[in-house]
Structure 1
């Protein structure tokens, strides 16, 4: 009898449901404008049904409820930079978006003058692991305006440092981070070699035209968007799939 009881408990544990994942959130069609619209040929942003934004300290005091009602279905928030800089608006953006029911992810702007290990630890120290959040993001691009770091290492070094950050951060959050990058950075450093999902910037051509053959999950298609609830130009992004695919992706890729 005791052996049967133990077996029953073991089977019950195996049948126990997985940790909670986000429920299906209604996808709101985008109602955005653009102060400098691009005439998209072929499969432009309008072909995609799930849109969102990315923001930093430069978007001050937004109305997240208005943004959600206008079709902001996700938001990537700048959290950290290098090994010692925290975006001062990260906390307020996180709280505001969460209250409006917008899924959020945090991104880190990489500096090539600070070891990847230090940058990963800095990100982990400042970005809580919250169930339901989107995966972390590694922002890889040159920063020609930096007063302290204009170093551009060899492509092999760039990729090695990126892998170190991705590995450390991925282990901590339980999800492999997404990689954001720009056309020039992609070309010079062969970033497609990294084991990651990609968020690609391309404001004057579709990803298919600008990154031939690349697989992507998010496309940043403008930096001059006009989004209700936000003042000034706002970065707008499209998710690659349908509303149903977005729901499935969130279940698979959200933090637990």
Structure 2
């Protein structure tokens, strides 16, 4: 083996190992986290800028939104029925606070009340606040008969209630057909209350509704010989029946959870609640008052007619109430 000259040994380039070549990128990787630290630093500064919005202002804003939502919920869902929970400073009976100043009480029913125990219900006629009259649904539209009407109508007379029947009007059905259907369904007798037209459904054409209602009323009045009663809410009356043509009819106004009727016109009956309770009826029931005395109610009832030998007719007086 020959030896290399000393000068070549001194000047020979140093060989780099694989390990030293791989170590260089490591230094670059060590510098990389600095960029990340810079980004984190910038994020931190940005977060500090976001926290400039005061936390108390955020909670104040959320509280204001909550108050608005609660106020809206109360106004639309609680306030209309708040009367149910008002303290009763007057007379409480039948599960509600009775309107002040009325002595003649009644109720109205349909098949929704289920099967009624009329013997048990009879006792309310002699209660401290006697219930004297009852209206019941007989028909609806041109072909629907209330399934409980026949039994309820007969039982009400048997146990001594002053009774009446109503028809639920459908603006989409011919008024003549509805009138004829009610006449076939209800046989009113002397001592009964006049027939009732229940009108609640909003019409597509208010003018047509008024014309059709007049047809129903005229047809029924000719048959029974007595002016029918109109049942509706005070708002419906003001909006759709605000016509002198209908002011001559006795009104039965529905207005719940208030101390007095808002309707300023004349009315005979007031349906003041739909959450009454009566013995013999399992479900809640609508309660009503008559705007007058029993003598005045008697004048409203259908009177029997006596024909003498000359062929003249005279209405006789109604028998005294039991």
Matches within 5 A, 1:210-225: 210-212=262-264, 214-225=265-276
Q: Aligned residue pairs: how many? A: 208
Unaligned stretches of 5+ in structure 2?
1-90, 125-129, 306-322
Q: Which residue of 2 aligns with 1:168?
A: 219
Report the alpha carbon displacement of residue 192 of structure 1 after superposing the two structures with TM. Answer: 5.4
Relative distance call for 1:206 and 1:186 in structure 2 (3 A) is farther
SS in 1 for 2:114: coil
Unaligned stretches of 5+ in structure 1?
1-29, 39-43, 143-150
Q: Which residue of 2 aligns with 1:127?
A: 186
What are the Cα deviations for residues 67-108 of structure 1, in whole angstroms up to 9, with x where unaligned?
A: 232132111110000001000100010111111011211100
Between the aligned partners of 1:255 and 1:119, the Cα distance in structure 2 is 26
Q: Which residue of 2 aligns with 1:190?
A: 241
Q: Which residue of 2 aligns with 1:33?
A: 94
CA-based RMSD of the aligned residues comes to 2.1
SS in 1 for 2:138: strand
Match among 98, 122, 140 for residue 199 of structure 2: 140
Q: Which residue of 2 aligns with 1:246?
A: 297
Between the aligned partners of 2:94 and 2:215, the Cα distance in structure 1 is 39
Q: 1:49 aligned to 2:103? A: yes
After TM superposition, the score normalised by the length of structure 2 is: 0.60
What are the Cα deviations for residues 151-210 of structure 1, in whole angstroms up to 9, with x where unaligned?
A: 7232222211111100000100111100000133223203453131000001133554x1
- Larger Rg computed on CA atoms: 2
What are the Cα deviations for residues 15-66 of structure 1, in whole angstroms up to 9, with x where unaligned?
A: xxxxxxxxxxxxxxx98422xx46xxxxx62310001111000112212233
Higher helix share: 2
Between the aligned partners of 1:246 and 1:104, the Cα distance in structure 2 is 12
Between the aligned partners of 2:100 and 2:277, the Cα distance in structure 1 is 15
SS in 2 for 1:58: helix
